[in-house]
Amino acid sequence: MSMKIPANVMLFAGGEANLGIYKQFVDYWNHSESLNGKKNKEFATTTVNDKGETVSISLSEKEVAMNAALKREAMRIAGVSNFAEFPMETWASHPMLRWAVFAVVSNLVDMILPDAVIESIGAYADVRTIGFGDTAAFDISPRDLFAVSKAGRGKRITEVKKQYKGQVLLNPEPRELTVGVSLYRVLAGKESLAEFVAKVVRSFEVAFTYDVYGVFATAMLALDNTATIGLRVAGYTQSDFINLAQKVTAYNGGAQAVAIGTLQALSAVFPLDANYRYDIQSDYVKLGYIRNFAGVDLMVLPQVADWETPFQLKLSDTTIWFVSPSSQKLIKAVLEGSVLSYTSDVYANANLVQTSTMSKSWAAGVATSAIGATLTLP
């Protein structure tokens, strides 16, 4: 299973020889995501036991192994080699061990987060990572071509054409997540640190997706809907669908437009002929939408729960967007540095629960010369 190792994780681990736990967590994460409906996830389904036999392995068994590996890694980072020589209660107040646990957690989050968010927003957003304190600068090349003028036989030059690049700056802003954690229960094996890390990743992933999608949806809603421009059309027709796809492809230098939207939105794309038929083996029955319509590929955006409004969904189910993913992405999003974490003292709170705060900075904005289009369903 191939995977990208972020430079900061490689540095923290101390080289390739110590990356086992981080690769192990990727496998655990992929297995967990596959059970949540995510497809095309690569993970191990078998392992070799103490007898040298190849046996199947479940997610719960991986979680037990992951928790043990997390504690071993935290002790390695903290320089603890004699864990069994003291009571667990003693180690719970060890300042270096407390720091090491959440330093490992932070690097596990950094291992997963960039790829996790790309799965949700990669169709319309270009996600990049930058260093601490950096400002992301994006050069925007003009979309227009040079105008060709008719000239006379005795005319040396025609009207001079010159184009200039623009630039968009993005300054990441910090977001924080504070949770209550009992290091005592973690060291005692009563709380799953692996499950905790996975939930932290999902929490940051959803928050980042909210922000990037909000920028994208706002920008697309501001597109010109006049008859002369017509990049935003209300009401679905086959003609409008094809026209918007052609327009986006043509003005993005021939980069093929695709229609993106939620499963609910794309399920409304049908041929003009009301006499069409589909059998039980068709894409529409199996997937809920047509993969390709009139030569335009359809791509489903995974719907996201709107945790701020009970049992509502975040992405619009009444909008189909046309973008050219192979051209410039409409939205640029940046993640700054690695996750910062700091934990309160063991006895800082009356209930002996420690608070751990994790901070990650990011930003998103429109930075492109490419165009998109919007088709709003009834």
pLDDT of residue 87: 65
Residue 352: C-alpha distances to residues 176, 185, 347 (Å): 22, 11, 5
Asked if 350 and 368 count as a contact pair (C-beta separation under 8 A), the reply is no
pLDDT of residue 312: 94
Higher-confidence residue: 246 or 272? Answer: 246
Closest C-alpha among 206, 214, 231, 205 to residue 366: 214
Question: Which tens digits make up the pLDDT trace of 52-106?
Answer: 888 899 999 999 999 989 888 988 888 887 766 666 666 667 778 878 888 899 9
pLDDT of residue 247: 95
Asked if 341 and 359 count as a contact pair (C-beta separation under 8 A), the reply is yes
pLDDT of residue 255: 92
Q: What is the mean pLDDT of residues 226-246?
A: 91
pLDDT of residue 366: 94
H-run or E-run covering 238: helix 238-251
- At 285 the three-state DSSP class reads helix
pLDDT higher than 60, residue 1: no
pLDDT of residue 377: 92
pLDDT of residue 90: 66
pLDDT higher than 80, residue 186: no
Asked if 183 and 375 count as a contact pair (C-beta separation under 8 A), the reply is no
pLDDT higher than 80, residue 320: yes
- Residue percentage of the chain with pLDDT more than 70: 96
Q: What is the mean pLDDT of residues 40-62?
A: 87
pLDDT of residue 213: 95
DSSP sequence for 42-109:
----EEE-TTS-EEE--HHHHHHHHHHHHHHHHHHHHT---GGGS-HHHHTT-HHHHHHHHHHHHHHH
H-run or E-run covering 320: strand 319-323
The contacts of residue 330 (CB under 8 Å, 6+ apart) are 124, 125, 216, 219, 220, 323, 366, 368, 370, 372
Q: Where are the domains positioned within the chain?
A: 7-136+175-208+336-351, 214-332+367-376
Q: What is the mean pLDDT of residues 327-342?
A: 90
The pLDDT mean for the chain works out to: 88
- The region that residue 294 occupies, defined by phi over 0 for left and psi between -120 and 50 for alpha, beta otherwise, is left
The residue to which tokens 């967590």 are assigned: 25
Question: Which tens digits make up the pLDDT trace of 130-150?
Answer: 999 999 999 998 888 888 888
